Amino acid sequence: MAELIDTIPVRNTLGEGVTWDTETQRLWWTDIHARQLFRYDPVRRGIDTFETPERLGSFGLVAGSTKLIAAFESGVGFYQPGARDIEWLARPRFGATGLRFNDGRVDRQGRFWAGTMTEDLTDAPTAALYRVDADGTASVHVTGVSISNGICWSPDSRKFYFADSPLRTIFEYEFDAEAGQISNRRVFAHTPEGAYPDGANVDREGYLWSAHWGAGRVVRYAPDGVIDMFIEMPVSQPTCVAFGGPDLDLLFVTSGRDGLSADSLLRQPSAGAVFVYKVPVSGLSDGRYISEKARP
C-alpha cells in the first residue's frame, strides 16, 4: 500500500511535469499557467522558484549540462532556469490556432518526446506528438490528438505509452528503441467517466502509474492493463507522477487548482500541492537528453 508521508505546500494553478534528478537529489516541476518552474530540496525542505518566459508544459534533464530541454507553449528549446531567453531547437508550425505543448519526457536512449494539446476542445483534434533528436530536429509521430499526456516507456524500452486525455484512453505502442519509432497502437486501458488520464510513469516491475485528473486518484496498472491498486488522493485533480528519493521508492504527485469552484477549494484546501507517497516498489530514473548542441 502507498502511504502519504509529506505534502509540499505550494498552491499551483496547474502543477505538472514532475521530474526527479538522481544526480542532485532534487525534485523539479512546473506550474504551467503561472509560468513558474520549481526546484525542491527535500533535505532542507527548500523551494526555489523560477519565472519562465512562456508557459512551460514539460521538460527533461540534459546530460552534462545544467540546462533543461523544455517544451514551452510555442516550441522546444534549451532553458537555463531563471533565464529570460530560450535557445530554440524546434518551433513547429502548428497549422491551427489554440495549440500549445503539454506533456513530455526523455526516453532511455536520450531523445525528448513532447506532445501538444488543443486548448479549445470544441475544435478538431489537431495536436500531435513530437520527437526531438540529439541534433535538435523534431519529427511528428502521432497526429489527430486532443490532449497529449502520459508519455512513458516500459523498463525494457519495448513498449511506449501515450494517453489522449479527453478520450479517457491510454494507448500502448511497440517501441523500436534504436530507431526511436513507434508502431502497432492498441488500447492499453480506458478510464471511467470523469477520470482523465494525465501524467504517468512506469516502475521497476513494469507497472504503469497514471494520475487521473478529475477522479482524485493515481492508478497502478499491471503490464496487461489490469488495475493493480489505487491511491485515493485528498485532491480531485492530480496531474503527474515521478519516482524519487535516494531509493526511488517515493512517488511525487503534482496537482492543480485550475477550474475548481470556491466550494471545491474549501473541501480540498491542499489542491495545487505536491504530495509525497512511500510506495512498496521502486521506480526508474528519468532519462537525460543527449544533445549535440547543448553547452554546460
Decide if 275 contacts 217 (C-beta within 8 A).
no
286 is catalytic: no
DSSP state of 270: T
Q: Are strands 288-289 and 56-62 parallel, antiparallel or unpaired?
A: parallel
Paired strand residues for 195: none
Region of residue 184 (left: phi > 0; alpha: psi -120 to 50; beta: else) = left
Query: d(Cα 174, Cα 158) in Å, to the nearest integer?
Result: 6
Displacement of CA 104 from its chain's centroid (Å): 6
Paired strand residues for 61: 68, 288
Decide if 130 contacts 168 (C-beta within 8 A).
no
Query: d(Cα 144, Cα 139) in Å, to the nearest integer?
Result: 15
> Within a 10 A sphere around the Cβ of 27, how many other Cβ atoms?
24
**Phi, psi (deg, nearest 5) at residue 86:** -120, 130
On the CB side of 53, CA atoms within 13 Å amount to 17
Three cell numbers at 103? Answer: 506533456
Query: d(Cα 242, Cα 209) in Å, to the nearest integer?
Result: 9
Which one from 107, 133, 164, 198 is the annotated catalytic residue? 198
Question: Helix, strand or coil for residue 166?
Answer: helix
96, burial (CB in 10 Å: exposed 0-12, middle 13-18, buried 19+): middle
- List, by residue number, the catalytic residues: 198
